[in-house]
Amino acid sequence: MRVAIVTESFLPTLNGVTTSVCRILEHLRERGHDAMVIAPDGRGPTTFAGFPVHRMPSVAYRQFPVGIPGPQLAGLLAGFAPDVVHAASPFILGAQAVTAANRIGVPSVAVFQTDMAKYAGRNGFGPATSALAWKVIRWIHSGAALTLVPSEASRLDLERQGIERLALWGRGVDSVLYHPNRRQDPATGILRSRLAPAGEVLVGYVGRLAPEKELHRLAALRRIRNMRLVLVGDGPARATLGRKLAHLDPVFLGSLRGEELATAYAALDVFVHASTTETFGQTLQEAHAAGLPVVAPAAGGPLDLVRHGVDGLLVDPHHDHSLRRAVLGLVEDPLQRARFGEAGRRAVVGRTWTALGDELIGHYAAVIAAKEPTRRALDDLSPSR
């Protein structure tokens, strides 16, 4: 199988879209398939997992490279002759990719991962911009052979917009890298001694520091005794958060990957998430794999990932005092933290990237098979036959 992946984000940019695309490419290599990547120019690698990465011109928006569509994309697709086009979180490059795939008679799978309509509203662009974003989303996904959604909340959102041909596809998690046993590692002990010299309970967040993550809501955690706030990640909201959360004396660890990120998770006691626009929430799964209780709004992706009162707490997305009350309860109750952490770990150990990768390949095969009768019919009508 030949898979062309067109993504709105790729290395060196670190986020959920990039992580998913990297894991998919690694899985395609392991299963013996061929692939290529088309991504915005970000001065990143030109190959990944042995596959070529073709860069499109881009402009920077809030420290994020945004690809500019052009004739090069259609030419790359035609030259590669894929069996299926995978549009990762399609919006600009992805829109052209779906159109180009239809033009050359290749089925496309669009992965809905970033809710641009809700992000537009959260970033102060107003309802008109959100409506325009939904119009673009409907156009893109209506042209795809299949749209994969990460959560039931996302499925409902797209169904309300009249988008059809939807299937649920989650994300895998590395439960070996993120493991409760890592808490006993010397590196974790060193980090904890630095972050919590007086034995504070470490409440942490991992992810991009951007306005849509709504991390300003963590200001509600004021006056929780014996607590230290830790933020892992970077982004355009870093300076603003430094001011808005100054009364909490937070620790900013910056962007971490691999072993360093796993150590950071292991050093935490509670994982907190504040965004109400997440379509999934990969870091929630990673926190569960590391054995952490999770506090998150009862909205979007977390509704599928957090079982309230079992492996974490879902809080009122409209009232920050609900967030504070949940965090305070866990800070004061180490036994409940342990119970939630164990339950969260059990919930995610089977969600491997291998299982999710095979599921994705199954979706590819299904849209390719559905396209074959049309191809044969067109061949029969060809004058050369």
Residue 243: Cβ-neighbour burial (10 angstroms; 0-12, 13-18, 19+): exposed
* CB neighbour list of residue 245: distance below 8 Å, 6 or more residues apart: 215, 216, 218, 219, 229
Taking only the tens place, the pLDDT of each residue in 272-296 is: 999 999 999 999 999 999 999 999 9
Task: Assign 378 a pLDDT band (cuts: 50, 70, 90).
Answer: very low
pLDDT surpasses 90 at 341: yes
302's tokens: 């977390």
Interstrand relation of 58-61 and 64-67 (parallel, antiparallel or unpaired)? antiparallel
Interstrand relation of 251-254 and 227-232 (parallel, antiparallel or unpaired)? parallel
**pLDDT value for 128:** 81
pLDDT surpasses 50 at 40: yes
92's tokens: 């600009």
Residue 251: Cβ-neighbour burial (10 angstroms; 0-12, 13-18, 19+): middle
Round to whole Å and give the CA distance between 32 and 262.
29
Task: Assign 326 a pLDDT band (cuts: 50, 70, 90).
Answer: very high
Taking only the tens place, the pLDDT of each residue in 351-371 is: 999 999 999 999 999 999 998
CA proximity to 21, closest of 51, 43, 59: 51
CA proximity to 41, closest of 55, 23, 52: 55
pLDDT surpasses 90 at 58: yes
pLDDT surpasses 60 at 374: no
* CB neighbour list of residue 177: distance below 8 Å, 6 or more residues apart: 258, 259, 262
At 229 the three-state DSSP class reads: strand
> What number of residues does the chain have?
385
Q: What's the whole-number mean pLDDT along residues 375-385?
A: 52
Q: What's the whole-number mean pLDDT along residues 311-336?
A: 98
Taking only the tens place, the pLDDT of each residue in 124-176 is: 566 788 888 899 999 999 999 999 999 999 999 999 999 999 999 999 999 99
* CB neighbour list of residue 214: distance below 8 Å, 6 or more residues apart: 122, 274, 275, 276, 277
Task: Assign 383 a pLDDT band (cuts: 50, 70, 90).
Answer: low
At 313 the three-state DSSP class reads: strand
The mean of the pLDDT values for the chain is 93
Sign of CA dihedral 22, 23, 24, 25: positive
Q: What is the DSSP letter of 181?
A: G
Taking only the tens place, the pLDDT of each residue in 195-251 is: 999 999 999 999 999 999 999 999 999 999 999 999 999 999 999 999 999 999 999
Q: What's the whole-number mean pLDDT along residues 37-62?
A: 93
Taking only the tens place, the pLDDT of each residue in 69-106 is: 999 999 999 999 999 999 999 999 999 999 999 999 99
Torsion of CA 17, 65, 83, 95, to 10 degrees: 100
Q: What is the DSSP letter of 43?
A: S
Residue 33 · residue 64 · CB < 8 Å = no
> Structural domains in the chain?
2-172+352-381 (3.40.50.2000), 180-348 (3.40.50.2000)
Please identify which residue in the block is written with the tokens 């199988």: 1
**pLDDT value for 267:** 98
Q: What's the whole-number mean pLDDT along residues 305-334?
A: 98
DSSP state letters, 272-297:
E---S--SS-HHHHHHHHTT--EEEE
Round to whole Å and give the CA distance between 127 and 104.
36
Range in 3-7, 89-93, 115-119, 123-127 the model is least confident about: 123-127
Residue 189 · residue 202 · CB < 8 Å = no
Sign of CA dihedral 133, 139, 143, 149: positive
Q: What's the whole-number mean pLDDT along residues 257-261?
A: 96
Q: What's the whole-number mean pLDDT along residues 319-331?
A: 98
* CB neighbour list of residue 213: distance below 8 Å, 6 or more residues apart: 207, 235, 237, 274, 275
**pLDDT value for 382:** 54
Predicted TM-score (pTM) of the model is 0.88
The residue ranking higher by pLDDT, 305 or 380, is 305
